[in-house]
Amino acid sequence: MPEIPDLEGYRAYLNARLPGVRVSHALVTIPIVVRSGREEFATLAGEAFAEARRQGKYLLFPFESGRLMVVHAMLTGRFQYCDPAQKRRARTAFVLALENGMELRYFDGRLMGKVYLAAGEGGLAAVVPRWAEMGPDAMSPSLTEELFVERLRKYRGQVKTVLTTEQCVAGIGNAYSDEVLWEAGVHPYRRRAELSDDKLRDLFRAVRSVMDWATPIVVARMEAEGLPDDHYRDHLRVHRKGGQPCPRCGTRISEITAGQRITNFCRKCQE
């Protein structure tokens, strides 16, 4: 699933190319993904892109008219920005032909992602399910350390589950929650109620530190290598590094798979 660094990479890459570019034709190829329907999506023809932004795990593509296209890529949603002659990926869900001669495409191997159209900022809650329930973005300036602690205090489950709960804090997923917990020295299966407020503050600082470190790496790679078929993960310290030495203490990194979710952590330096 794309998380904050991945989505910031998409945002930076596409903002270097899309703002001011007009859509010449909008085509839905898999209606189950594009929830607005073919006819409404076709009305994007003539719209000009403004600068894309991110909210939690959503990418928002505003147009100069004020309308927005909202993409929640879920596990396998990916973008292509390419020449129209390039072969379409399997399960391409929409194609936006652009007046600059390029195409913006979205493909999704498991068809789990969703694409919505909103009339404006005020219409997001009406068309995007659970939009109004979403917690503050993990990187929002309005999410202070004290507010982060206050929000986490409301949950009593395992701390990794709490960090990845969108209604608590938005934008952190499975991969980067492993990195945040390793950075803070917190065991992923500890219950949130067992953690002191000081440890919750450590988690807040770890969230900001990990995202500030990882995001420029992903942004630079996307600009240099293009939009990826899969997410860049080889820079991560513990996630998907099961059996390798912990970068901090050298202990073998543990890997546990439960509910189709892989969790990696160090048994020695995460308590």
Could you give the residue numbers annotated as active site? Answer: 2-3, 57, 261
Collapsed DSSP state (helix, strand, coil) of residue 246: coil
190, 74 Cβ separation under 8 angstroms: no
264, 178 Cβ separation under 8 angstroms: yes
Residue whose entry in the numeric block shows the structure tokens 């390793």? 182
Collapsed DSSP state (helix, strand, coil) of residue 61: strand
Alpha carbon distances (Å) from 36 to 11, 69, 106, 115: 22, 10, 15, 7
Collapsed DSSP state (helix, strand, coil) of residue 39: helix
26, 45 Cβ separation under 8 angstroms: yes
**In the structure encoding, which two tokens stand for residue 143, read together?**
């999410």
Residues 6 or more apart whose Cβ sits within 8 Å of residue 42: 26, 27, 28
Collapsed DSSP state (helix, strand, coil) of residue 79: strand
